[in-house]
Structure 1
Amino acid sequence: MINTLTSLRFIFALMVFGAHCYTIDKFFDTHFFKEGFVGVSFFFVLSGFIIAYNYQKRFSENKITKRAFWVARIARIYPLHWLTLFIAVALGNYVIASGAIDWLKHFLASLTLTNAYIPKANYFFSFNSPSWSLCCEQLFYLCFPFLIPIAKDYKKLLCVFLVSAILIVIGMHFTPETDIKGYWYVNPITRLPDFLAGMLLFQLYDRLKGKNITAYQGSIIEIASIALFLAFYLYTAEIPKVYRYSCYYWLPVAFLLISFSLQKGIVSRLLSNRILVIGGEISYSFYLIHLFVLLSYAEWQKGSNFHIAWYISIPILFCIIVLLSLLSYYYFEKPMNKRIKTLLNK
């Protein structure tokens, strides 16, 4: 496990949280917070890196089968997804617009993580809307074992990435504004290059990890990567949103990932703090739980005469989400992960 990258997961989950806080107060309805959707792009690239880090060598040496890999991934994403889906149903987070049959179609699409393939917001954002990203992860996991032969030669993997990146940029240019979210933000097929970028970064990491990099040099690299990311993040006014959904952030996210994966600098030492690492471990729970907590509070606030200032309510809601995430991780995620792997590997 690379502690710094685990901690970064929590930091980027916080950015996604901040991007959704506009549901509570208009203070958060600004670029600084709403651009936090970049956290999802970070997760996709990180996923490619971590999956390659954990499994590429094992596949190459025939130490794991496709079945065992897929079972491990199913055990990772589905239990909490289904739990939060049913909670969202109970909370009424999806309104039946066209009767029971229409509701059932949307429910089944969410249940099977196929809703993001349908370029309609009432599909990919139905029920617990952050779960659309799990549709992408599911495709990544399905494809990964078949990408291993290509990944053995980084030049081939790079060619596949570059061709897909060029096609995506061209496609983005010709897509009407009203369709960009459905085709370029949530669609698993068009988010696959994010995952490929992460796999490529692992190839680079594998070559750099043995290099003699001093703490001073590592610190300079880490600080430079943070500065580059902030420059991209803060100065995006002239960049069309369709590019910011993925390809615009590939460079700064890649630099950030590779610099912190080496764990050589002073910032890495800070990120290795146990509290931040635990935050990264519960980030999946945090990500899936946070929005329906925010929406439930926002709904209560609308019907109440008692108004709580955001600088009080947001920290309280954050603490509630963290507590729920801790309970979920230790008493649901981990036990269910173990049970499902045991059951499906029989």
Structure 2
Amino acid sequence: MSFFFILSGFILTWSARPKDNVPGFWRRRMVKVYPNHLVMFAATAAVMLIASDPIGAKQFFTSLFLVQSWVPEAMVPTGMNPVAWSLSCEVFFYLSFPLLLLLVRRVPVRGLWTLAGVLLALPWLVVLFAKSVVGGTPLPGGYGVSFEQLWFIYFFPVTRMAEFVLGIVLARLVLAGAVPRIGMLPATALTVGGFVLNAHVPYAYSVGGTAAVWVAPLVLAGTTADVRGTRSLVRGRVLVKLGEMSFAFYLVHTLLLTSAGRWLLPDVSAGGAAGLLVGCLVASLAASYALFTWVEAPLVRKFGSYGGASRRRPGPSESAGAAAAPLAAAEAKE
């Protein structure tokens, strides 16, 4: 999730305009996020009713209003559509963004790298604090953390904000021309190596914002390459379209995978399971295309725009989003 939180802060900072007003910014963000969430919330509730799964009032209402990540109780952050917990964090980030941007803009360019280093270190300190101070009964399975510790490290919007602010700082560095050229190949290798390392460290250090250390260079490499107009596979029409659909795909894919696993997987062979997975991918792409085309895009055009494409700052948002699309499936962790 670190990639997306960092990318969110980066793109919002890159696209910010001097004449933006706070209510208008909040309106655009809610129009972008909430309609898709509401559609998938209703779809998830329908599937749960069909499956006779219990729906608790706390799960229902906290998820409906995107405040579920604030509740340190098992099954609440992921109680409805499991991936929507991250939207709870994003809503908090959006509400805080105008003030955060104002504060980061006051930091001189020479101090931004120091601030970035502090923000990269914070998630590691969060883990140390959780392990030392936050209590709770260890989760079964040998994870070495309690749910309360996991919530504090992974779900809690305040502790995840460091990644979002890091995105703001990185965008300021790029805008100031203070970022050295970073190749996509070494940045990608660092990211892959980081996730391989994740498999060999204590669980508490493999989740949450610690991944920012190896995904931040990938964000910088992708966005600076886009700013320079460097040729890249992620600038192709297909991947740009996938980038546009990536938010819808993120909300759709878990419901389809879990539904297929519940009702179809028990009746297929091992070979059929691979085909089922491919089918889920195709269905997720089709559903996300429909959600983007018929819900997200029309509402954003009508209620979430600035009022004209000519005012839009050219930059990395399209190809950065395209780069996020394949990572959405690979990171389907949330």
TM-score, scaled relative to structure 1 = 0.75
2:106 is matched with 153
Task: Determine if the alignment matches structure 1 residue 269 to structure 2 residue 232.
Answer: yes
SS of alignment partner, residue 84 of structure 1: helix
1:207 is matched with 176
Aligned-residue offset at 1:69: 0.2
How many Å separate the matches in 2 of 1:80 and 1:318?
A: 19
Could you tell me which of 283, 291, 301 is aligned with 1:328? 291
Aligned-residue offset at 1:119: 1.5
2:197 is matched with 235
SS of alignment partner, residue 263 of structure 1: helix
Which structure ranks higher in relative contact order (CA pairs < 8 Å, sequence separation ≥ 6)? 1
How many Å separate the matches in 1 of 2:292 and 2:207?
A: 29
Task: Determine if the alignment matches structure 1 residue 139 to structure 2 residue 108.
Answer: no
Task: Determine if the alignment matches structure 1 residue 193 to structure 2 residue 162.
Answer: yes
Supply the AA of the counterpart residue of 2:48: G
How many Å separate the matches in 2 of 1:43 and 1:207?
A: 22
How many Å separate the matches in 1 of 2:301 and 2:15?
A: 18
- Residues 1:227 and 1:268: Cα distance change in structure 2 (over 3 Å): farther
Aligned-residue offset at 1:243: 2.2
Supply the AA of the counterpart residue of 1:158: L
Could you tell me which of 60, 73, 84 is aligned with 2:40? 84
Identity within the alignment, %: 26
1:248-289, Cα deviation, whole Å (9 max, x unpaired): 311211111111111179985111111111111101110000
Aligned-residue offset at 1:337: 2.7
Task: Determine if the alignment matches structure 1 residue 279 to structure 2 residue 237.
Answer: no
Task: Determine if the alignment matches structure 1 residue 168 to structure 2 residue 110.
Answer: no
Higher mean alpha-carbon deviation, 293-302 vs 137-146, is at 293-302
1:75-129, Cα deviation, whole Å (9 max, x unpaired): 01100101100110000179665xxxx7222211001101111122311111111
How many Å separate the matches in 2 of 1:318 and 1:295?
A: 12
Could you tell me which of 35, 47, 55 is aligned with 2:8? 47
How many Å separate the matches in 2 of 1:301 and 1:132?
A: 26
How many Å separate the matches in 2 of 1:210 and 1:292?
A: 39
Supply the AA of the counterpart residue of 1:205: V
SS of alignment partner, residue 122 of structure 1: coil
Higher mean alpha-carbon deviation, 235-244 vs 321-330, is at 235-244
2:152 is matched with 183
Instruction: Check whether the contact 1:301–1:307 (CA below 8 A) recurs between aligned residues.
Output: no
- Residues 1:240 and 1:337: Cα distance change in structure 2 (over 3 Å): same
Higher mean alpha-carbon deviation, 299-308 vs 249-258, is at 299-308
How many Å separate the matches in 2 of 1:228 and 1:307?
A: 33
Aligned-residue offset at 1:166: 6.7
Could you tell me which of 295, 309, 314 is aligned with 2:277? 314
Instruction: Check whether the contact 1:164–1:193 (CA below 8 A) recurs between aligned residues.
Output: yes
Cα-Cα RMSD: 2.8
Instruction: Check whether the contact 2:160–2:209 (CA below 8 A) recurs between aligned residues.
Output: no
Taking the TM superposition and a 5 Å limit, the aligned residue runs for 1:114-125 are: 114-125=67-78
How many Å separate the matches in 1 of 2:249 and 2:123?
A: 31
Aligned-residue offset at 1:311: 2.1
1:250 is matched with 212
How many Å separate the matches in 2 of 1:341 and 1:53?
A: 17
Could you tell me which of 31, 37, 44 is aligned with 1:75? 31
Instruction: Check whether the contact 2:123–2:210 (CA below 8 A) recurs between aligned residues.
Output: no
Supply the AA of the counterpart residue of 1:109: T
1:65 is matched with 21
SS of alignment partner, residue 208 of structure 1: coil
Aligned-residue offset at 1:210: 9.3
Structure 2: segments with no counterpart, 5+ residues = 136-144, 306-334
1:14 is matched with none
Structure 1: segments with no counterpart, 5+ residues = 1-39
- Residues 1:258 and 1:302: Cα distance change in structure 2 (over 3 Å): closer
Supply the AA of the counterpart residue of 1:45: I
Count of residue correspondences:
287
Aligned-residue offset at 1:317: 1.2
TM-score, scaled relative to structure 2 = 0.77
Instruction: Check whether the contact 1:85–1:111 (CA below 8 A) recurs between aligned residues.
Output: yes
- Residues 1:230 and 1:268: Cα distance change in structure 2 (over 3 Å): farther
- Residues 1:296 and 1:308: Cα distance change in structure 2 (over 3 Å): farther
Aligned-residue offset at 1:309: 1.7
